[in-house]
Amino acid sequence: MISLAGALQLNVEQETNRIVTAMQRAVREHMHKRGAVVGVSGGVDSATVLALCVKAFGPDKVIALILPEIDSDPDSERLGVLAAEACGVSPIVEHLTAALEGFGCYRRRDEAIRQVFPEYEAAAGYKAKIMLPQNVLEEGALNFFSLCIVTPEGEMKTKRLALAQYLQIVAASNFKQRARMSMLYYYAEANNYAVIGTPNKNEHEQGFFVRHGDSGADFRPIVHLLKTQVYQLANYLKVPREIIDRPPTTDTYSAHSTQQEFFFRLPFETMDLLWQAQEMGFSHEQVSSETGLKTEQVQRAFDDFDRKRKTTEHLRAPALSVPDVEAWD
């Protein structure tokens, strides 16, 4: 009987060759493009995708775009440069703060934050982020978001977000991903290249992306791989160790926020085992035996996966037309 850990293990050489071959066929034969553009964030996903692109097209046919803005962690740009240089690619840095100011991204976001914390003022040194409760294995409650601000003195204050303020903060923040997508396509169209996306399976299937933002791509080479499998490829492709060891972050909010606290609610090592178990139809008892979790904890995780898939189906669907809707009858 196959183990869960074994089910997640890749033949990394074979998987790399499979991805590279598919990407070459898609970009050159199907799209008739000359190379690839990748948005490089300083995280392991984009660094791995960049390395795969270089294997597929060579460093002279790959553009590594680094797209910081005022809220970006300075480490993101530094590690993005490191990833590009490790692949023999000269990175291009495009700062997006002015464009985002033009959209009113920060103004609209801060307006909603001040409805929760009137004292909040970004220019005075306040920072903010959105969080989910981290007790998904202990309580079967619905997800609810909280707003956390960090004062200039370092004090953290947290309040549960009402729907209106949550929607406005997210809508304003999503300008960031959509502005990055626009810049990626500028470079792609100017060079007759394809935009290569960086979402992994966790992000795509659970809806951790912005529609027409970081979901915008011509080819997505790792969307079938769970995060722990991406790490396997990263090690094989010799992605710099500092990038591999960096905890995955959203790099969207001014206060530091990991992907776990913002959305996934579980460590990737645990989540991927549970995800694989659910997909393969493992019994709750077998999952409990292999992970040490209680069966009710396994069920709570499965419920959380199902809820996220269901509530984000529209993000993965193409735009609807009149015949599409009429076909529902």
Q: Please report the pLDDT score of residue 7 as a whole number.
A: 84
Assigned token pair, 327: 């076909």
Q: How many CB atoms neighbour CB 215 within 10 A?
A: 20
The amino acid that residue 3 corresponds to is S
Q: What are phi and psi of 131, to 5 degrees?
A: -135, 155
Contact 222, 48 (CB under 8 A): yes
Q: Please report the pLDDT score of residue 120 as a whole number.
A: 96
Q: How many CB atoms neighbour CB 111 within 10 A?
A: 15
Q: Is 4-100+172-253 in CATH node 3.40.50.620? A: yes
Q: What are phi and psi of 278, to 5 degrees?
A: -65, -45
Assigned token pair, 3: 């183990």
Q: What is the mean pLDDT of the chain?
A: 92
Contact 175, 213 (CB under 8 A): no
- Least confident range from 109-118, 132-141, 174-183, 304-313: namely 132-141
- CA dist 32 and 28 (Å) reads 5
The amino acid that residue 83 corresponds to is A
Assigned token pair, 91: 């990175």
Q: What is the pLDDT of residues 51-104, one digit of tens each?
A: 999 999 999 999 999 999 999 999 999 999 999 999 999 999 999 999 999 999
Q: Considering only CA atoms, which of 112, 203, 121, 128 is closest in space to residue 165?
A: 112
Q: Please report the pLDDT score of residue 139 as a whole number.
A: 60
Q: What is the pLDDT of residues 6-60, one digit of tens each?
A: 889 999 999 999 999 999 999 999 999 999 999 999 999 999 999 999 999 999 9
Tell me which H or E stretch contains 178.
Answer: helix 163-191
β partners of residue 195: 37
Q: What is the pLDDT of residues 252-278, one digit of tens each?
A: 888 876 666 667 677 888 888 888 989
- CA dist 93 and 234 (Å) reads 23
- CA dist 170 and 252 (Å) reads 10
The amino acid that residue 69 corresponds to is E
Tell me which H or E stretch contains 301.
Answer: helix 295-311
H-state helical runs in 25-162: 44-57, 74-86, 97-103, 105-116
Q: What are the respective helix, strand and coil percentages of the chain, to the nearest 5? A: 55, 10, 35
Domain boundaries, the chain: 4-100+172-253, 104-169
